Amino acid sequence: MIKIAVLGTLDSKGHEHAFVAECLRQEGVEPMLIDVGTGGPPQVTPAITRDAIVPELTQPQDRGACVSQMVAQAPAFVAKLVDEKAIHGIISLGGGGGTSIATAAMRALPIGFPKLMVSTLASGHTAHYVGSKDIVMMPSIVDVAGLNRVSKTLFTQAAGAIAGMARAHARQADEASAKPIIAASMFGNTTECVNLAKDELEAAGYEVLVFHATGTGGKTMESLIESGMVAGVLDITTTEWADEYVGGTLTAGPTRLEAAGKAGIPAIVVPGCLDMVNFGERDSVPSTFAYRTFYIHNPQVTLMRTSVDDCAQLGKILAEKVNAYTAPVKVLIPSKAISIISAEGQPFHDPEADAALFEAIRKHLNPAVDLIELDCAINDPTFAHTCAATLLDLMK
């Protein structure tokens, strides 16, 4: 029997969540009402009380502290239910506090596990609620404050949606491919390399998931690696670290390049596209960088060449991240070009900056980690083949 967690602040929105629970029963799935309210008593009787999640909740007068406690504790509680296969999907309705609590719990769940948040905040900036997970945010249109012709219509449809998602997820689990997964990072400037390596890896029996290194893509890839679904990592495009260090727009945060090491998964790491930092329109580039070299990728994207000093620091960061890996890992360097536009004759060709990058990697990389340097450009078929063959060898 498919079970859906109906998680919400039942002290203020109990009747609305009970309505969704009844809609789920009509869909032929079993609801599990979970109370994460932080105020008065719940309006309806939950299957799981708030005390089971936070045994000693702060006095209700301090609502902010109570919400913070629930945000801190609910994720682990719900993740345990998923691990135990006690639930097969999760849905919640909420305003500000409810959305904060529920999406914190949803972000703790694996990619692919059905998650639906009906929220008053769904039409605005939702990045801090969704994070790098596949949370479906559905606008509530009206406030989640009672049952009326609009809210009942939307809540009914939301219940149907999560029931359908859970059924599809269950079918997919039954029919899951036996092929192990490889996560790969790609940018427009490394597309040819990744595609060639991808073909070889797929021919060897792997399923390759490619992530666009745009900040969100890197975060999502790291999240997938952490989930334990991945057998190997082809991290050819580590450019997001250039944005993180210099201050560009496509940063994946300071933990980029850490997931494979923590998960103990074999990996190939390449300083792909560390020659560039991303900004928006040309006028959006800070004036402090006026003396730098730029390349207009398109009217909305301006690329800035990393300097010698930037590259020296980026090489050190990459090496130190790799040094923490516990599973087999190798670093590969394409010495003639780390992107299309850093090749000889191209706008970002800067041998001095590249030399600083490569030397920093050599200097700071643990001698126990193999460093392979090839006299070719990153999109050369030889480099792509070496990346694929080396990762296959590590995964043995």
208 and 249 both lie in a single domain: yes
8 and 85 both lie in a single domain: yes
Q: What is the CATH number of the domain that holds 223?
A: 3.40.50.12030
16 and 105 both lie in a single domain: yes
- When pLDDT is averaged across residues 11-33 and rounded to a whole number, the result is 97
Q: How far is CA 338 from CA 117, 190, 374, 376, in A?
A: 41, 8, 11, 9
322-353, pLDDT tens digit by residue? Answer: 999 999 999 999 999 999 999 999 999 999 99
Q: Kindly state the DSSP code that residue 377 receives in the 8-state scheme.
A: B
Residue % of the chain over a pLDDT of 90: 85
Please tell me the pTM assigned to this model.
0.75
Containing structural domain, residue 336: 181-395
Total domain count, the chain: 2
CB burial string 217-237: b at 16+ within 10 A, e below: bbbbbbbbbbbeebbbbbbbb
Residue where a domain terminates, one of 154, 174, 194: 174
74 and 199 both lie in a single domain: no
241 and 371 both lie in a single domain: yes
Look at residue 292 and give its three-state secondary structure: coil
What confidence tier does 189 reach under pLDDT thresholds 50, 70, 90?
very high
**Which pLDDT value is given to residue 177?**
58
368-393, pLDDT tens digit by residue? Answer: 999 999 999 999 999 999 999 999 99
What confidence tier does 157 reach under pLDDT thresholds 50, 70, 90?
very high
236-294, pLDDT tens digit by residue? Answer: 999 999 999 999 999 999 999 999 999 999 999 999 999 999 999 999 999 999 999 99
C-alpha 290/C-alpha 390 separation (Å) is 41
CB of 361 within 8 A of CB of 334? Answer: no
Least confident segment among 131-135, 325-329, 357-361, 376-380: 131-135
**Which pLDDT value is given to residue 386?**
98
- When pLDDT is averaged across residues 51-75 and rounded to a whole number, the result is 83
Find residue 332's DSSP bridge partners.
Answer: 372
110 and 257 both lie in a single domain: no
168 and 193 both lie in a single domain: no
244 and 167 both lie in a single domain: no
C-alpha 220/C-alpha 213 separation (Å) is 10
**Which pLDDT value is given to residue 93?**
97
**Which pLDDT value is given to residue 58?**
64
188 and 164 both lie in a single domain: no
Residue where a domain terminates, one of 174, 192, 220: 174
162 and 106 both lie in a single domain: yes
Look at residue 332 and give its three-state secondary structure: strand
Residues in contact with 368: Cβ distance below 8 Å, sequence separation at least 6, in sequence order: none
**Which pLDDT value is given to residue 12?**
93
159 and 306 both lie in a single domain: no
Please give the mean pLDDT across all residues of the chain: 94
**Which pLDDT value is given to residue 175?**
56
Residue where a domain terminates, one of 174, 192, 208: 174
Q: What is the CATH number of the domain that holds 57?
A: 3.40.50.12020
- When pLDDT is averaged across residues 83-101 and rounded to a whole number, the result is 94
